[in-house]
Structure 1
Amino acid sequence: MTTPEPAQRLTAWVHGHVQGVGFRWWTRSRALELGLVGYASNQPDGRVLVVAEGPPDAVRALLAALRSGKTAGHVDLVVESFDAPRGDLTGFVER
């Protein structure tokens, strides 16, 4: 029997036409389907910041979805980093 991988935290800066097009709602829907907690937040420079915590497979699936070309709006670039979870998030919200 294998032990599950510890949770992981994804911080992703999403560049492109991602504000005012339902992108945060779309991201929240995908994250909830994957059982992740976190948020998607519009930034003053036009990017969206996505922070998500959960099982590594689910976190990687969300990152793949952000890059899939099937998002609301249009994603030009996703810059991501992975960290240990902080455990300070509940639910998945749009900010």
Structure 2
Amino acid sequence: MCDARRSDQSQLAARPVAAVTGYTPLSAPAHTASQLTMSSDLCSVDFEIHGHVQGVCFRMYTEKEGLSLGCVGWVKNTNKGTVVGQVQGPRDKVKEMKVWLSKEGSPSSRITRAVFTNEKDIPHLEMSGFGTRY
């Protein structure tokens, strides 16, 4: 390998991935937890999604979407064939998540109804991350 190419590679290695490729990982939250807890515009909402939403990776896609929006929460399958969960975060991001849950979901899902309850303002996030419960 020539010295000029080695020099270029060492310069690339010292720069963050996003600066080199323009790529930002989906799992990186849009906000840090400390930034979110300082905001006064946080909210929480519970959800139940009806339709063909089990066995189609709905929970996994919900986790990924929540994280990509910078939200926290949890998701779980129910015995009656629905998916339930809770989302917390900045009001505008929770609103985006509600649209995603009611209109998009995982690629193979077929959502017939989305029910949102207990929407409320919260002073700080009550959990961290986005996970699946069993």
The CA distance in 1 between the partners of 2:45 and 2:51, in whole Å, is 19
Runs of 4+ with deviation above 4 angstroms: none
Letter in 1 for 2:105: T
Q: Tell me the residue number matched to 2:65.
A: 30
Structure 1 residue runs of 5 or longer lacking an equivalent are none
Q: Tell me the residue number matched to 1:56.
A: 91
TM-score of the superposition, structure 2-length normalised?
0.63
* Structure number having the greater helix percentage: 2
SS in 2 for 1:67: helix
Letter in 1 for 2:114: V
Describe the superposition over 1:13-44 as per-residue Cα deviations: whole angstroms up to 9, x where unpaired. Answer: 10111111100011111100100011111111
In our comparison, the structure showing a higher alpha carbon Rg is 2
SS in 2 for 1:26: helix
Does residue 1:71 correspond to 2:105, yes or no?
yes
Q: Tell me the residue number matched to 1:89.
A: 127
Q: Percent identity?
A: 30
Q: How far off its partner does 1:66 sit?
A: 1.2
Structure 2 residue runs of 5 or longer lacking an equivalent are 1-38
The CA distance in 1 between the partners of 2:105 and 2:121, in whole Å, is 26
Q: Tell me the residue number matched to 1:42.
A: 77
Aligned length: 91
Letter in 1 for 2:129: G
The CA distance in 2 between the partners of 1:52 and 1:71, in whole Å, is 14
Q: How far off its partner does 1:91 sit?
A: 0.3
The CA distance in 2 between the partners of 1:12 and 1:62, in whole Å, is 11
Q: Which has the higher contact order (CA 8 A, sep 6+)?
A: 1
Assess if the C-alpha contact under 8 Å between 2:51 and 2:111 holds in 1. Answer: yes
Q: How far off its partner does 1:5 sit?
A: 4.8
Q: CA RMSD in A?
A: 1.5
